[in-house]
Amino acid sequence: MPSILLFGVTGLVGSHVVLALKKKYPNFPLTVYLRNATIDTYLRATVGVSRIEHGTYDEVERIASLAKDHDIVINVGSSWDTGLSEAIVDGLSKRDSGKKTILIHMSGTGNFVETRWNDGATHAESKIWHDDDSEDIKLINPKMLNGGPDTVVYEAGKSGTIETYVIYPPIIYGRAAGPVSALGIIQYFMHLKVKELGFIPYIGDGTAITNAVHVHAVVDFVMLVLTQSLGEDEPQKSVYERVYFIGGTETPWKNVSNWFAEAFFNLGISGEKKARSVTLEEAGEGEIPMLMSHDMRFTTRRAEKLGYGGNVESEQLREFLSHGSNIFTA
Ligand SMILES: NC(=O)c1ccc[n+]([C@@H]2O[C@H](COP(=O)([O-])OP(=O)(O)OC[C@H]3O[C@@H](n4cnc5c(N)ncnc54)[C@H](OP(=O)(O)O)[C@@H]3O)[C@@H](O)[C@H]2O)c1
């Protein structure tokens, strides 16, 4: 049975991935690496993981050594921590040659913001990135939002010893599973932003395009990629073709901001029911103003060919925020 090492088990995505792994592959030995020492009983007794390792992502020697002992690594812990990806790759590359070795890395479509404009408006000339165009994937570089780890993973995939898969989601919304109520990166950052400003902003006219996907659709796709990779004796295609973008409907930031604003207002977290148009400077620091200021456009054709079914129809972001907004007070 192939063994799996999972990073990110207490996060929005990882909390679901661990359950999906045990459901689909109950007999695969599953190790989780986490710094939270309070949920071991849940992980062992309820989920059924075989091994728990406590540590942080800066313990690179331990991570490399653990990766060396596993057939499959799934990193839904960090798309920003280059050292973590280097450690994973270092360990996996030291495995016995001839052993099938898979790395599934979750990155993010924040890489694909259109940097020519930062006025919060959409532009007809904005680049549209395609997951089935290898020339687009070759443009990914360390200067992009998640580009450091991505580059490490692509270089490892090129070496041929590790079968790498990289998945790019946009805003992920939804609830975490299990005892830790993780908001996930973007829901967390929006919560921080409303607490910082007292309202939810958008930049300029707010027509800049963004995109969102429900966590269930993300996890289903991770499982699809894993199943596909396990079915192959040899890595298929080039490293630039084992890359998938997933998402939902293109949406202007003004809409997304207004949905979050209403949710925070209804919860008493902010006094303003509508999002406010501001300049980039007035939106403050961090990733959210950066994302809000640019178009981010992409297609999901390669993912669809693999079987990606799109976002979860019944729970689009607006509906989720109006009915499920109590995640912010849990
Ligand atoms: N959520 C989104 O909107 C979104 C969008 C695009 C891409 N992504 C990417 O998708 C992946 C999963 O996202 P997510 O929203 O599920 O993330 P998340 O909820 O923030 O979870 C991150 C996980 O990594 C762990 N972690 C972070 N830093 C650590 C460290 N230094 N040492 C040990 N553990 C550490 C966290 O542990 P603790 O519980 O101990 O903090 C948690 O289990 C990430 O790579 C993210 O960048 C997310």
Could you tell me if residue 199 is inside a domain?
A: no
Q: Looking at residue 13, what is its pLDDT? A: 98
Amino acid in the structure at residue 82: T
Q: Looking at residue 272, what is its pLDDT? A: 97
User: Which residues of the chain, if any, have pLDDT below 70?
Assistant: 233-236, 313, 324-325, 330
Q: Residue 170 sits in which domain range?
A: 4-118+127-183+211-250+297-312
Q: Quick one: which atom of ligand 1 is closest to the CA of 146? A: 47
Element (H, E) at 276: strand 276-278
Could you tell me if residue 256 is inside a domain?
A: no
Q: Looking at residue 226, what is its pLDDT? A: 97
Could you tell me if residue 62 is inside a domain?
A: yes
CA of 275 to the centre of ligand 1 (A): 26
Could you tell me if residue 89 is inside a domain?
A: yes
Could you tell me if residue 136 is inside a domain?
A: yes
Could you tell me if residue 144 is inside a domain?
A: yes
Angle subtended by helix axes 185-197 and 253-266, to nearest 10: 70
Number of domains in the chain: 1
Instruction: Specify the CATH number for the domain of residue 35.
Output: 3.40.50.720
**Distance, first Cα to last Cα, the chain:** 38
Who lines ligand 1 at CB under 6 A? 8-14, 34-36, 56-57, 76-79, 106, 108, 169, 171-172, 180, 182, 184-186
Q: Quick one: which atom of ligand 1 is closest to the CA of 10? A: 43
Could you tell me if residue 288 is inside a domain?
A: no
Distances (CA, A) of 32 to 35, 184, 285: 10, 18, 33
Q: Looking at residue 313, what is its pLDDT? A: 67
CA of 106 to the centre of ligand 1 (A): 10
Per the CB < 8 A criterion, the answer to whether 211 and 218 are in contact is no
Could you tell me if residue 205 is inside a domain?
A: no
Q: What is the pTM of this model?
A: 0.97
Per the CB < 8 A criterion, the answer to whether 25 and 49 are in contact is no
Residue-wise pLDDT tens digits, 98-131: 889 999 999 999 999 999 999 999 999 999 999 9
Per the CB < 8 A criterion, the answer to whether 100 and 163 are in contact is yes
Q: Which residue has its alpha carbon closest to ligand 1 atom 14?
A: 184
What is the Cα–Cα distance from 149 to 107, expressed in whole angstroms? Answer: 8
Residues 6+ apart with CB under 8 A from 41: none
Q: Quick one: which atom of ligand 1 is closest to the CA of 14? A: 16
CA of 124 to the centre of ligand 1 (A): 33
Distances (CA, A) of 137 to 55, 108, 111, 244, 298: 32, 13, 11, 10, 12
